[in-house]
Chains A and B, each alone.
Chain A
Amino acid sequence: MKTRDVLIVFVLGLGFGLLLSRSGAADYTFIQEMFLFESFQLYGIIGSAVLIAAPGLWLLERHGKTASGEPLKLKRKPLHGGTVIGGIFFGIGWSLTGMCPGPILINIGEGKLYALAALAGALIGAWAFGALYPRLQPLLGLPPLDVGTGDG
């Protein structure tokens, strides 16, 4: 990766994280209030992000090229036997910790020490999934190992 690209990605991560940190998307109580239907904040954030990203991605796809003229590659998300059950597991984890993957790191940066326990769990959970992949793959009808379940 070129140094310039590393810097661009770092700045994008920084900006993205700042918005999540200051909007409640990385706040335990805001996540519970979303799931309790007590606050519109998180629905507004996710909904407006989708509403703006959808036409933007559509235009980018029509344009077909990146800034440097490469053919645009939109990562397609395969549907497989793990899509729904994995989603259910993740929803339980998001509710328990009040964090989805990005906010785990943001919360650690903010100084919330309990997020370190969530990170340890997430890494061990992801590792266990990878280690069990050869057994889960035929059981759940997942894509071949060299493909994986999809980037996300």
Chain B
Amino acid sequence: MLILNELTALHWGIAGAGIAATVLALQFFLNRSLGISTGFESLCSLVSRQPYFLRPALRGPGVWRFPFLAGLLVSGFVSAITSGGWEATWDAGMLDTVLGLSFEAKIAWMFVGGLFIGFGTRLAGGCTSGHGIFGVALFEKSSLLATTAFMAAGMATTNLVYRVLGGWTP
């Protein structure tokens, strides 16, 4: 059951097929390769004057990322209003029921996790979409390595947090 309006999740095959269709459509119609994390750099390039964010690639061929990011943001809203209604919430499922962090601790937790995501995806040159799906589908060595690394690190972290520190049992 999803946190969002306690919905039953779609079958994985529907989501997988739709993600693959997005990859192929983006490549065929726009000649762009799916990858989301570079969008963080695109957003940084709007305000930062650091040489790294002045790379022509971000403001030239990379501008497609802005409407894609906008689509993602709007999709969450549309998903909520078409399934029982939109409501602002702090409900984080298992994080609340098992770890029971205070409000401040939860914000700090999410912020620190975000730091790892922003720094890590840019250092690796991709995230779940760019490396995990697009790159692995092309059998790219870098993507196979990055995907193995982030899946292993995620498994280690979650198992440490929940099974070891949180005392969680199935």
Within the assembled complex, what's the spacing in Å between the Cα atoms of A30 and B93? 9
A96 to B115, CA, bound (A): 11
With contacts defined as CB atoms under 8 Å apart, how many contacts are there between chain A and chain B in the complex?
Answer: 533
- Considering the chains assembled together, what is the distance between the CA atoms of A87 and B130 in angstroms? 12
Most B CB within 10 A of own CB, among A95, A112, A148, A151: A151
Contacts of A90 in B (CB 8 A): 116-117, 120-121, 124, 127, 146, 150, 153
Among A45, A86, A126, contact of B15 (Cβ-Cβ < 8 Å): A45
For chain A, the count of residues having a C-beta within 8 Å of the partner chain is: 124
| Min distance, Cβ B156 to any Cβ of chain A, angstroms | 8
Interface size on B, residues (CB 8 A): 132
* Majority DSSP secondary structure for residues of A touching B: helix
CA distance A99 to B53 in the complex (A): 24
The answer on a CB contact under 8 Å between B155 and A77 is no
Q: Is A23 a contact partner of B9 (Cβ separation < 8 A)? A: yes
Q: Cβ of B123 and Cβ of A112 under 8 Å apart?
A: no
Contact A47 B25 (CB under 8 A): no
Whole-angstrom distance between the Cβ of B78 and the nearest chain A Cβ: 7
Bound-state Cα–Cα, A23 to B22, Å: 15
Report B104 CB to chain A, min CB distance, Å: 11
Q: Which residues of A contact B (CB under 8 A)?
A: 1, 5-38, 40-54, 56-57, 60, 66-67, 70, 72-80, 82-102, 104-115, 117-131, 133-134, 136, 140, 145-146, 148-152
18 contacts between A and B (CB under 8 A): A13-B69, A14-B75, A16-B72, A17-B75, A41-B9, A43-B12, A49-B17, A49-B20, A52-B20, A77-B140, A83-B142, A85-B123, A90-B120, A92-B113, A98-B93, A106-B76, A123-B43, A152-B37
- Chain B residues engaging chain A, CB cutoff 8 angstroms: 2-4, 7, 9-33, 35-41, 43-44, 48, 50-53, 55-57, 62-64, 67-80, 83, 86-95, 106-143, 145-159, 161-163, 168, 170
